[in-house]
Structure 1
Amino acid sequence: MTVTIYHNPNCGTSRNTLSMIRQSGVEPTVVEYLQAPPSRERIVELVSAAGIPLRDAIRKKDTPFDELGLADPAKSDDDLLDAIEAHPILLNRPFVETPVGTRLCRPSEVVLDILENPNIGPFTKEDGEIIIDAEGKRRV
């Protein structure tokens, strides 16, 4: 199974998602999108495949979102793509693509819905939140 994660190693949600993918038995293709930003076309493909509006793929926290006036509803998708192109940190993460589907995995456990083997056994996030308990039951 081919799995690709658009990853930021400094993001706990992204690290948790990557851990769940690996715990499912898959070594994904890891794209550190801040080092190798996806093209505009690729961003549009990811967002479309995830079934979300581009605006929902924009990260607000710890980004130049407010300074760039991106909350303005008059900003077009082209304006938003221009901003992401200039500031890749604005692209929310992690996006994950699998043969089952594509998702913006926020929260990280969303990835379980698109893994071919979502039965990953017990899993606890870095912050201590139990996602799958010792009996293999999802807590979410």
Structure 2
Amino acid sequence: MKATILHNPRCSKSREALAILHETGAEVSVIDYLEHPPTRNELARLYARAGVSPRDGLRKDAPKVANDAAALDLMVLDPSTIERPLVGTDKGVRLCRPPSAIKDVL
């Protein structure tokens, strides 16, 4: 199985999700989203596949925004506002908070 993770190596939840992927034997593409931020279109596509609004993809301590378009704009402007980890496989995309949510797409 192939998987992609938007990963922050300093985040314990992100490291935990990555460990779960490795334990399952997945072929993992790791994207350090702070170093290589996703585009607005990529983020919109990921959240649509996950079935969550972009506002639900903001970190809890991020500035409040009025709508999903503003959430995407904020994430592109400041990738540190993206809640992590975000994991995608052929079975879908999940915001893996808690990391056990990853099992839905394995």
TM-score interval for Structure 1 and Structure 2 normalised by the shorter chain: over 0.9
Other structure's SS at 1:97 match? strand
Q: CA deviation at 1:96?
A: 0.5
Decide which of 85, 98, 105 is 1:107's aligned counterpart.
Answer: 98
Structure 1 gap segments, 5+ residues each: 116-140
For 1:22, give the aligned amino acid: H
- Partners of 1:31 and 1:9 in 2: CA distance: 10
For 1:28, give the aligned amino acid: V
Identity score, percent: 39
Equivalent positions of 1:2-81 (< 5 A) are 2-61=2-61, 65-66=62-63, 70=64, 75-81=66-72
What TM-score, normalized by structure 2, do the two folds share? 0.93
Rg larger in 1 or in 2? 1
- Partners of 1:83 and 1:57 in 2: CA distance: 11
Structure 2 gap segments, 5+ residues each: none
Looking at secondary structure, tell me which structure has more strand per residue: 2
What TM-score, normalized by structure 1, do the two folds share? 0.72
Q: Is the 8 A contact 2:88 2:94 kept in 1?
A: yes
Q: CA deviation at 1:6?
A: 0.5
Q: Which residue pairs with 1:87 in the alignment?
A: 78
Cα RMSD over matched residues?
1.2
Alignment length (residue pairs)? 106
Looking at secondary structure, tell me which structure has more helix per residue: 2
